Structure 1
């Protein structure tokens, strides 16, 4: 039985290199038999946060919010693919994430970071760890960090060179860690209702 995994990506830039990494993650998780969907913040195009999903009267949230809330609630786990902007997180991905709260609770999340430089988005990954934990997710310890992204994945999203080999080598452990927590969370939710 496959697990339902949402992969979130948040760049709004016109020349988005990180989409290669998001698609790589989606394809590799699908190869493992998981039910995976890419949630692209640019494609959903939510306005800057004014009202969270939960602040709308029941049945009155905009359609895009209602649909995404349904998908988040139905997911078994999440992957956040984040670039690093000035030592911080992507505003598009953060804006999308902040529209929800309780919908995230009691599921694991994993972080995949990237940058154009050699630090591979590590500072954004560190910032996301605290944010996702505060939003009720268990953040797995395994991460993927890619940089420079243009030397790791081709325009078609295929691993290239030594950096691409390193990504291919790191991915199975990353996925194993996430899936262990996904399965543990599913088993616990079946055994006992969350405390709140």
Structure 2
């Protein structure tokens, strides 16, 4: 429907339509499908790029990096990563159901070092191929990796965290 009638919409209307219809669908469940195969993720990227082309009237041959710049949106990978790290942070703040927050444990430092001031999570041992794909393992692993650059000593507001996260996660466009 949208593509057949795209001439009827202004640029602002197309932008709003995509933000209110397509992006929520791509964002829903992105934390779960973040471990999907590259083949499946590439199909989602194609939908995202098509939506951006709808807004911008860019030709099919326009490179995806240029598409992101035209609308000022990050890549779908960055959107997924941002949302994932926000879910982890909400878990630390206790803003998720107890069944999820019980899966993360804040590590207590064994010795006093500079890095021990920063909050980190206990990374559980895994005995199978699927262990690293679990929420418990990947949340701890990804949070500890993020803390190497954020260096949060205490938990801050979610709004402040989102701002710091947006400064940390940037798209490095590649030609793939």
TM-score range, shorter chain: under 0.3
TM-score between the two structures when normalised by the length of structure 2: 0.28
TM-score between the two structures when normalised by the length of structure 1: 0.26
More strand by percentage? 1
